[in-house]
Amino acid sequence: MDTIDRQEFLRQTALAGAALLMSSVELFAEEQQRKVKVGVIGCGSVSTQYLPHLSRSPFVELVSTCDIIFDRAKKAAEKYQIKNSYPSIEKMLAGVPFDLLINLTDMQEHGRLNVLALNGGKNVWSEKPMANSYREGKALLELAASKKLRIWGAPAVVNSPQFAFMSKAIQEGKLGKVSSAHAHYGHLGPTWSAFFYEKGGGSLPDLGVYNLATLTGLLGPAKNVMAMTSIVTPQRTVDNKGKITVEAEDNAMVLMDHGNGTISHVQCGFNFFDPYGHEGKGQEKQTITIWGTHGNMGLVGYDWAPFGVDLATHDHEETQRFATDTKGYVWQEGASVISKSMVTGEEPLIAAQHALHVLEIIEAARTSGQTGKKIAIESTFKWPVV
């Protein structure tokens, strides 16, 4: 066996280290150059949150915007120096090529537009819900797989450090056997667009969806669902249509059975007096609470904008606050995170199967509300998430 002296060994190690550093620098530079070409459809309210985030991402090249109110697409393109804008998805898909469609349109349009995009060879990030029914959502995932494309759906709540803290605490047994959980989210409802209140809209896919994603993400896929839903305010006035009749539930209570005896509850609606409003600023209370045989835990702030986790256990009965880090995660990051994962190849925490599972729960909650029956859930997703 050859032997080398200490000096030669150090020289060789330094060379190998430099080579390794070079290759990781090159790899980084290469990643910096590779960008996902993005087309954004729907240039309304939420696009004003997505576009600034996307435009700052080193993994994104914003290629085109689209809105059936063409002026909105043109104005958004101008503001973010995006070269192309279109008045319809057909024109957008036939126009300048891109890799990822970001769908920020009315909820009722998501399924139809997502199918068109996949058939047009695009990957998809969809605002919630990714489709109008569980069946349509399942078909979307199958279509994507058959075309070797990917589809992902909002929300991005599993990305927060607070979600990670809670998930780890549960997995490490800090709460003992988890028995019960509660989550709530509501305000007085959006005032700008009618679709939130029309058939296919509702407080469940707009608001409850966050809590449903958080609780299933923490406690595991739901096996059964029971619910009551109602309409509290039958008529509303909205900016784009004036006086409208509310058709979708604006008030919902959903019970989920996660198996092993764990039961949780989500409460959401468009009739919650809430001084924190749609933006949620200043919400300092717990909106999610989880109890087990050895401890309890509460998420402080909304699950889409959390800023701490309060934990009390039988080893430390006095409540302590953890996970107060609010840097990094923001709720509107989903499409940017997905773009990064498309470049780096790292699998994101956000999973299409989880979004589909939540969609099935929403549909089951409505069926349960109408029939008074307990509804079995067939879908599942990879769990634990963290």
The whole-angstrom separation of Cα 237 and Cα 199 is: 16
105 contributes a contact to ligand NAD by CB under 6 A: yes
18 contributes a contact to ligand NAD by CB under 6 A: no
The whole-angstrom separation of Cα 286 and Cα 181 is: 12
DSSP string, 325-336: --SS--GGGHHH
- Quick one: which of 63, 66, 82, 248 contacts ligand NAD (CB under 6 A)? 66
Cβ–Cβ under 8 Å, residues 288 and 216: no
User: Of 43-51, 54-62, 114-122, 218-226, which segment contacts ligand NAD by CB under 6 A?
Assistant: 43-51
130 contributes a contact to ligand NAD by CB under 6 A: no
Cβ–Cβ under 8 Å, residues 43 and 72: yes
Nearer to ligand NAD, 106 or 363 (CB): 106
51 contributes a contact to ligand NAD by CB under 6 A: no
Q: For residue 364, which of 206, 222, 154, 186 has the smallest C-alpha distance?
A: 222
**Closest distance of CB 45 from ligand NAD, Å:** 3
How far CA 385 is from CA of 28, 163, 215, 335, in Å, comes to: 27, 10, 11, 18
The whole-angstrom separation of Cα 161 and Cα 326 is: 8
User: Of 5-13, 39-47, 219-227, 287-295, which segment contacts ligand NAD by CB under 6 A?
Assistant: 39-47
Number of residues that bind ligand NAD (CB under 6 A): 23
- Chain residues 165-194 in contact with ligand NAD, contact rule CB under 6 A: 192-193
Q: For residue 254, which of 292, 297, 295, 202 has the smallest C-alpha distance?
A: 202
**Closest distance of CB 291 from ligand NAD, Å:** 29
107 contributes a contact to ligand NAD by CB under 6 A: yes
- Quick one: which of 37, 53, 58, 68 contacts ligand NAD (CB under 6 A)? 68
370 contributes a contact to ligand NAD by CB under 6 A: no
DSSP string, 292-320: ESSEEEEEEB-TTS--EEEEEETTEEEEE
- Quick one: which of 46, 116, 255, 330 contacts ligand NAD (CB under 6 A)? 46
- Chain residues 191-230 in contact with ligand NAD, contact rule CB under 6 A: 192-193, 206
Run of H or E residues at 196: none
151 contributes a contact to ligand NAD by CB under 6 A: no
Nearer to ligand NAD, 45 or 235 (CB): 45
Cβ–Cβ under 8 Å, residues 192 and 238: yes
Residues that bind ligand NAD (CB under 6 A): 41-46, 66-69, 72, 89, 104-107, 109, 113, 127-128, 192-193, 206
